[in-house]
Amino acid sequence: MNRTNGAGGSTGAGGGKGMGTGTGAGVGPVTGGGAGIGTGTGAGVNLLALRNHNAALVLDLLRTAGPDGISRLELAERTGLTPQAVSKITARLRQEGLAAEAGHRASTGGKPRTVLRLVPEAGHAIGVHLDRDELRVVLAELDGRVVAERCVPLSLGAGAETVVGAVVRVVREVMEAAEPVVVSPAPPTTPTPISSPTPISSPTPISSPTLLGVGVALPGPLDHAHGVLHRVTGFPEWDGFPLREVLAARLGVPVIVDKDTNAAALGLAVGGERGSFACLHLGTGLGAGLVIGGTVHRGARTGAGEFGHQVIQLDGPPCTCGNRGCVEALCLAAIGRGDVAEAARVLGEAAANLAGLLDIDAVLLGGRTIAADPEPFVDGVAAVLAARARREGSPEGAVPVRLAPGGARAVAAGAAQLSLAPVFGRRDGRLSPERGDS
């Protein structure tokens, strides 16, 4: 983890204008929501080669090409940029250590083409999954590959200082386990009341020249735009807590906070899942990550996806959210009785409602509970969707149901993408449109 250095945060141009078809073309800075590229708190990487949208286009193609790489000519054809612009961008990426030669490929005429590849170890991100009863932290390289991981028991109800302190400690442990990095010693801390609007604890900054930032995913509801928690289901004492601000001050790197289901959905979208889909996550709770047209849908107040708290049984059993007859309460009650078939049927009815409302391409199932016994859930949900499609006479047939990849680390790996995806112009999953000159 020692390749990319730099400080400062100015945006810049370069790489030339692009016109035509392909992945997309455009000139201008990549802005917003970012992964420590010229923004954020304290440390974090300012990757000078990523100053504009065109560089993000090229980097994304290098990422998807994998270790086999891609030639400059192919990059020009697929981005719509001129060969000269691609040469300038790739030269800068190589200078910054983000791209390297991957060999040569035969051409139809003239000398063999040089093939370029992404250098995954040139950048890293931490992904944190704060579940209701455990903490999982991963360290991922630029291509999303997890290179270090740690999972420890932790109650979300243990209090702010305990939870924040555990996150800081395990993040440091994961980084130190990956390889030796310069990490400053942790000073003693002062407890942070859960209602405190600003961090009181002393900072314990982490330092690595390739660390882009930390993505944190946990149950909602929460305010993704400001990194502030609302009344987290089952833990209302977190209401109003500025988690992003507190962790950024403690760690000294940019922090992005999002719902666990959104993080999982982002990981799937960046990883190649196409179209519109719902990622239903059943673990200690139930939620949905929604991807519409390739973009994570968070809603006007970043509260979309509270799938588990749709009421499907009036005057049903009480739910921890305060309502009665929620899908989550019914599913978890069935699981508690050992009736997996009933849990799958309830989940299927709710999934069919969602599929009918949004007309999505696929339903993906994930989370600890499903991962422990996936077949009855996949089969049970698919059966409900198939029955609904038959009743409606759908000419397309039922919406397909699949097990989401990633297993137990899917949310944590998706949380790392909160910091990694903007590097490739994919802050919300789909490649961002061109932003124009600046």
Query: What are 228's two structure tokens?
Result: 């502030």
Helix (H) or strand (E) holding 348: helix 340-358
> Residue 89 is which amino acid?
I
Q: Which residues of the chain have pLDDT under 50?
A: 1-50, 180-200, 434-438
- The pLDDT value recorded for residue 204 is 64
- In the block, tokens 């946990």 appear at 218
- The pLDDT value recorded for residue 51 is 53
DSSP strand pairing (295-296 vs 277-282): unpaired
The reported pTM is: 0.83
- In the block, tokens 């390289």 appear at 141
211: Cβ contacts below 8 Å, ≥ 6 apart:
1, 36, 43, 44, 45, 124, 125, 126, 175, 253
Whole-angstrom distance, CA of residue 21 vs CA of residue 361: 25
Query: What are 78's two structure tokens?
Result: 């697929």
Name which of 251, 183, 185, 188 is nearest 216 in CA terms: 251
Whole-angstrom distance, CA of residue 417 vs CA of residue 311: 32
- The pLDDT value recorded for residue 357 is 94
- The pLDDT value recorded for residue 109 is 65
Q: Tell me the backbone φ, ψ of residue 270, rounded to 5 degrees.
A: -70, -30
- The pLDDT value recorded for residue 144 is 96
CA 10 distance to own-chain centroid: 25
- The pLDDT value recorded for residue 112 is 82
